[in-house]
């Protein structure tokens, strides 16, 4: 869901920007787990298959810091998909990523409720403090508990729009689906 607006943001930014000494990261997608980050990056890469010069990279735990750093320096990265802890490691260790994030046009918090359930609130706050104020921010969450409302006040503009894709009085119905020989559980809502 977030991938198409993110790609559109990158294409617009690249067409309007002048050559810069340090290539900016235009889109930052924060996710709660490395598995989700890898999945999002894989889908984005499929969508970008015929777009030259746009790179998608991940920053997640479990990979040596220096390996991440070399990859960020050598490979294109206009879309960065990261877990908060790992991204914060790079920001705090002055790896140069802070400078690249100054060109950020879009911030996405994917599965915000899960991010906060896993205790990433302080990391997200520190990351947001390092980002430009002029940006589009998107927050996706299956539920809207108090913690998500609080973080939305930090991340989103005051006049943000809330879009409910399920509606009140809906019941989730799990459905099994197969895609590329991988089984996924999809949830569809039925209105009572």
CATH number for the domain harbouring residue 38: 3.40.50.300
Beta-carbon contacts of residue 86 (< 8 Å; ≥ 6 apart) = 59, 60, 61, 68
Kindly state whether residue 50 falls inside one of the protein's structural domains. yes
148 in Cβ contact with 119 (< 8 Å): no
95 in Cβ contact with 69 (< 8 Å): yes
Beta-carbon contacts of residue 159 (< 8 Å; ≥ 6 apart) = none
Read off the tokens for 151. Answer: 């973080």
Kindly state whether residue 171 falls inside one of the protein's structural domains. no
Read off the tokens for 160. Answer: 């943000």
| Calculated CA dihedral for residues 45, 50, 51, 56, nearest 10 degrees | 10
d(CA 139, CA 146): 14
Kindly state whether residue 188 falls inside one of the protein's structural domains. no
The mean pLDDT of 5-32, rounded to a whole number, is: 77
pLDDT tens for each residue of 43-91:
998 988 888 878 899 999 998 989 998 998 888 889 999 999 999 999 9
Kindly state whether residue 178 falls inside one of the protein's structural domains. no
> 158 or 97: which carries more pLDDT confidence?
97
What range defines the domain where residue 144 resides? 3-165
145 in Cβ contact with 171 (< 8 Å): no
Read off the tokens for 53. Answer: 């010069």
Kindly state whether residue 186 falls inside one of the protein's structural domains. no
Number of domains in the chain: 1
Kindly state whether residue 63 falls inside one of the protein's structural domains. yes
Task: Please give the model's pTM, rounded to 2 decimal places.
Answer: 0.77
């Amino acid at each position: 869901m977030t991938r198409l607006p993110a790609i559109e943001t990158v294409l617009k930014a690249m067409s309007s920007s002048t050559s810069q000494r340090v290539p900016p990261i235009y889109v930052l997608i924060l996710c709660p787990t490395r598995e989700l980050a890898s999945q999002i990056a894989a889908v984005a890469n499929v969508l970008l298959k015929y777009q030259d010069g746009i790179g998608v990279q991940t920053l997640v735990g479990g990979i040596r810091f220096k390996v991440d750093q070399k990859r960020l320096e050598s490979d294109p990265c206009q879309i960065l998909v990261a877990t908060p802890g790992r991204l914060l490691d790079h920001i705090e260790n002055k790896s140069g990523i802070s400078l690249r994030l100054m060109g950020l046009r879009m911030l996405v918090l994917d599965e915000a409720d899960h991010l906060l359930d896993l205790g990433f609130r302080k990391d997200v706050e520190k990351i947001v403090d390092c980002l430009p104020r002029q940006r589009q921010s998107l927050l996706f969450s299956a539920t809207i508990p108090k913690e998500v409302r609080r973080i939305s006040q930090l991340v989103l503009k005051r006049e943000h729009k809330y879009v409910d894709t399920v509606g009140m009085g809906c019941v989730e119905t799990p459905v099994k689906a197969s895609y590329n020989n991988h089984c996924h559980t999809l949830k569809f809502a039925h209105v009572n």
